Structure 1
Amino acid sequence: MSPKSTLETVLAYHQRTKHHFHAYARSLGYLDWANQPDPFRRYEGARQIQLPFRDPNGTILPYEELYRPASSGPDPVSKESIGRLFQFFLGLSAWKEFQGSRWALRMNPSSGNLHPTEGYLVLPNRREVLSEDFGPGGMVGHYLSEDHSLEVRTLFDTQIGQDLMAGFSPESFLIGLTSIHWREAWKYGERAYRYCQHDVGHALAALVFSARMLGWTVIHLENLSDESIDRILGTDREDGCHPMEREAPDLLAVVVPGGPTAELPLSLPEEPI
């Protein structure tokens, strides 16, 4: 698709999905409860890594410190710190129940509490200091908020991790975000893509704040293509998912413990991808 036709498609969608004074944008018009999307994606048969929660008696960064330069060194990258990162980024914050229905709330806000955003961890074990759960060279894992666990999607060797992250410090790793558009389309119809983009912005902000609590910095790799993100996360495969629930790549971000000491690339090398 040419840049001109791509822009025309974006503008046409924007116009078509506007609410107007005398009519709403198109949707089903009612909630089809029989086909309500499951808000939790699971990869059946995948090995799970149970993540620890933050020690409730441990220290926590005061709110105002989220906006100030770090006063102490970064937390080391470990199973415990990865668990805390996801707990305050995409983790569950509460369960609610009313008239026999039970549903979860999460740290990241979502339109209609539908949560189309899925999170992935790409963790190279370049210094081989991480738990053996993460593999000798590194792994790609999908975060399952319902269980606060990572589902192992693939393991890779040390060389791949080194090549992929060549422009970053040895402790750096990647976080990927995708959207399942059907979860929003079920309620909001043709405006679903708007809400998915809205929600991924909330998720990125939650990631930034959660990382900040650990003394880590998040940088959006804005020069990566959708195709590259798809290949890295493995979401270019159907894997038995319903065709309507395929994940669309949103972004890939690098997490740098302690923050960058020099200008960093906003992409990744093509060969290891």
Structure 2
Amino acid sequence: MNNDYTHALDYHEKTKHSQISILYSRHYLDWENRPNPFKVYVDLKSILLPDSFPVPSMNAVKAIAAVNNNNINNKEGDIKFLDKDTSIDDSNYADINRIKSFRLTDLASILFFTCGITRHIKFNSTDYYMRAASATGALYPIEAYVVNGDINKNDLDAGVYHFNPGSFSLTAIRKGDYRKVLASYSANNSTTMHSPVSLVFTSNSWRNAWKYQSRSYRHWFWDCGVILANLLAVCKSFGLQTKLLMGFIDDEVNKLLGLEYHEEAAIIVASLYASSYLKGGVTNSKSTMGNGCEPTNEHGNEKSDGNIIQQVDNLKPKVYPLSLSKVFYPDIWKAYDTSKLQNSSQVVNWISKTNFIIDSSSKSNNSNNKKRVLKKYPIETNFTDLEIPTIGKVILKRGSSRRFSRGAVSLKTLCNILTSSMGVEGKANLPMDYNLGQLGLVDLYFIANNIDGLQKGGYYFNATENTLDFLSDIPYADFSGHLCLDQPLFADASAVIFLMVELKKILRVLGNRGYRVVQMESGIIAGKLYLLSYTFGIGASGSTFYDDEVTDFFSYHDGPKSTMIAIGIGTSPYQSKSGTVLPLRLTNEQMCGESKTL
């Protein structure tokens, strides 16, 4: 069913925003029925994570973008996770063989700076617990599960655990080493099989659908993507590599985690590893497949007949309800179900697809496209006069701007943010398991409202030619706010960035699951844009948009593209407080009782 990509196209079309759809929407927010942001098990025991753990201290730009630049200054040194007296420079900071062992304190730090609680706010007698990564509507639909071997002898037994940020604890769902089981659902991926820890991220459908209805399926991947941006940066700081797997047998992974059918679903696996952990030195640094469909070690998969998977018992652990009642949105689950992979052969075929090639140079050199570019501004990145904070400080500082001041942002700052978020030749450098993940599926377009050195208008970030291509004037001053559902916040932003893809072209190759891919990649890049904005001393906020109006405005450049997400960046009229290393120990009553905890 995944190959019939009309399902994804239908979903995308049905969930578009327009001025008419917003005007005639009858949806309202039932605040008495707002879902709790914590998943709490009724009968399962929890293990408290240590509240003292290492803080990621790599230069934020290096951690986010994995750049090699000797001119990036750092206020507070680099990696503290390495052995004492081990020097490290820009060319080999990811030499992960130097790590002695993976400890429970390291896992606690990764979970905290990825999706832990960094702020506690009280408003109108209600407690709000804000997390390390942003979430649409502050609803936090993403759950994190840990699948691990024994960690540092007696630190943590092998098992399958659920991470609860409210109590900063792990709840044991299964006891024993299930890494090989999880790997069997991903075509025997050897990275997952031999990594000390894999994190499985899921989405609880109702938690976000309460506000965003059927469109919230898109939000699954946006909200997970910004979490993954944190994860990639933190792991880089700690000298760990990360492999992101979107090719797996959905029903089996859901069964392993004991998820309730059509309530919660797994959307990505993140295996964390150092090369010394992997047997045979398999590092997965290059994702390539052999000829045909048989997995090879080069791709990080064990030799297999492609059909043998490990079976587990069904689990139905009791959890406290999120709210008094729920609304079921069938369009969400149709989009999900029609993008499932059913067996190992489908997984192998899906991750190995290579018949779609994005030739970014042909885009920029096409004569028709050249006529549609009115002016090219050279991209200039320069970090020599900057003191870059550590990634730990940036994550604690990051918020979601509620006001922009319409102040100017320098062209250098904008260029630093765009180039650092997208990597070499605009390919984002994301460590995905599918071959198309190496090509760069997402393009950045933006509206400049107040960028020093740029005239107001619409632009294309041309990473191939290293230019910002001026495409068109904007029809009126607050046009960017109009495109973002007429929100003044995005009219006040110095620039609004639209992440866009050639949707149909990608779905033809990756099927309905390709819709997950483009939304997830966009979410990760959006997360990087967030972090980089705060790195360079400005603010950021994400937005939804009028789909077809954004497409129409930019379509004269390279044909019509579909918008995945929008990010506004700009100066703020207020100084937000940094979060703190604040592992909380909330009780079950605080998380899901009558204390009005949101």
What range describes the TM-score normalised by the shorter chain of this pair?
Answer: 0.7 to 0.9
Range moving further from structure 2, 30-39 or 219-228: 219-228
Q: Does 1:178 align with 2:175?
A: no
Distance 1:185 1:170, change over 3 A: closer
Question: 1:3 — aligned with what?
Answer: 3
SS at match of 1:254: strand
Question: 2:35 — aligned with what?
Answer: 37
Give the partner amino acid of 1:76: S
User: Which of 14, 22, 33 matches 2:20?
Assistant: 22
Question: 1:122 — aligned with what?
Answer: 147
Q: Does 1:61 align with 2:58?
A: yes
Question: 1:151 — aligned with what?
Answer: 171
Q: Does 1:83 align with 2:111?
A: no
CA deviations on 1:184-238 (whole Å, 9 max, x unpaired) are 1111122111112211111222221222221111111232121232133232x56
CA deviations on 1:94-141 (whole Å, 9 max, x unpaired) are 01112212101101111011110000000022xx73325x33xx1000
User: Which of 216, 224, 246 matches 1:192?
Assistant: 216
SS at match of 1:190: helix
CA deviations on 1:41-70 (whole Å, 9 max, x unpaired) are 0112212111123447x6722313312452
Mapped partners of 1:175, 1:70: distance in 2: 23
For residue 174 of structure 1, report the CA deviation from its aligned partner: 1.1
Give the partner amino acid of 1:61: M
CA contact (8 A) 1:28 1:187 kept: no
For residue 143 of structure 1, report the CA deviation from its aligned partner: 0.4
Distance 1:171 1:194, change over 3 A: closer
Give the partner amino acid of 2:50: P
CA contact (8 A) 2:117 2:132 kept: yes
- The 5 Å alignment of 1:94-113 reads 94-113=119-138
CA contact (8 A) 2:182 2:253 kept: no
CA contact (8 A) 2:56 2:238 kept: no
CA deviations on 1:116-174 (whole Å, 9 max, x unpaired) are 0000000022xx73325x33xx10000000111111111025xx545755723745321
Distance 1:118 1:266, change over 3 A: farther
Range moving further from structure 2, 250-259 or 210-219: 250-259
For residue 175 of structure 1, report the CA deviation from its aligned partner: 0.7
Question: 1:47 — aligned with what?
Answer: 45
CA contact (8 A) 2:47 2:171 kept: yes
CA contact (8 A) 1:222 1:266 kept: no
Give the partner amino acid of 2:8: V
Distance 1:75 1:50, change over 3 A: farther
CA contact (8 A) 2:139 2:208 kept: yes
Mapped partners of 2:258, 2:115: distance in 1: 20
Q: Does 1:139 align with 2:139?
A: no
TM-score calculated relative to the size of structure 1? 0.82
Mapped partners of 1:27, 1:92: distance in 2: 34
CA contact (8 A) 2:121 2:127 kept: yes
CA contact (8 A) 2:94 2:240 kept: no
Distance 1:21 1:161, change over 3 A: closer
Question: 1:70 — aligned with what?
Answer: 93
SS at match of 1:12: helix
Mapped partners of 1:253, 1:59: distance in 2: 18
Mapped partners of 2:217, 2:170: distance in 1: 26
CA contact (8 A) 1:224 1:266 kept: no
For residue 254 of structure 1, report the CA deviation from its aligned partner: 1.1
Count of residues in correspondence between the two structures:
256
SS at match of 1:89: helix
Q: Does 1:213 align with 2:237?
A: yes
Q: Does 1:261 align with 2:283?
A: yes
Mapped partners of 1:261, 1:189: distance in 2: 41
Distance 1:130 1:208, change over 3 A: farther
TM-score calculated relative to the size of structure 2? 0.39
Structure 1, unpaired ranges of 5+: none
For residue 23 of structure 1, report the CA deviation from its aligned partner: 2.5
CA deviations on 1:58-103 (whole Å, 9 max, x unpaired) are 6722313312452663362111111111010110110111221210
User: Which of 225, 230, 240 matches 2:254?
Assistant: 230
Structure 2, unpaired ranges of 5+: 68-91, 277-281, 285-297, 312-598
CA contact (8 A) 1:220 1:266 kept: no
Distance 1:27 1:146, change over 3 A: farther
CA contact (8 A) 2:117 2:166 kept: yes
User: Which of 267, 272, 285 matches 1:250?
Assistant: 267
Distance 1:198 1:247, change over 3 A: same
User: Percent sequence identity over matched residues?
Assistant: 25
Give the partner amino acid of 1:222: M
Distance 1:64 1:83, change over 3 A: same
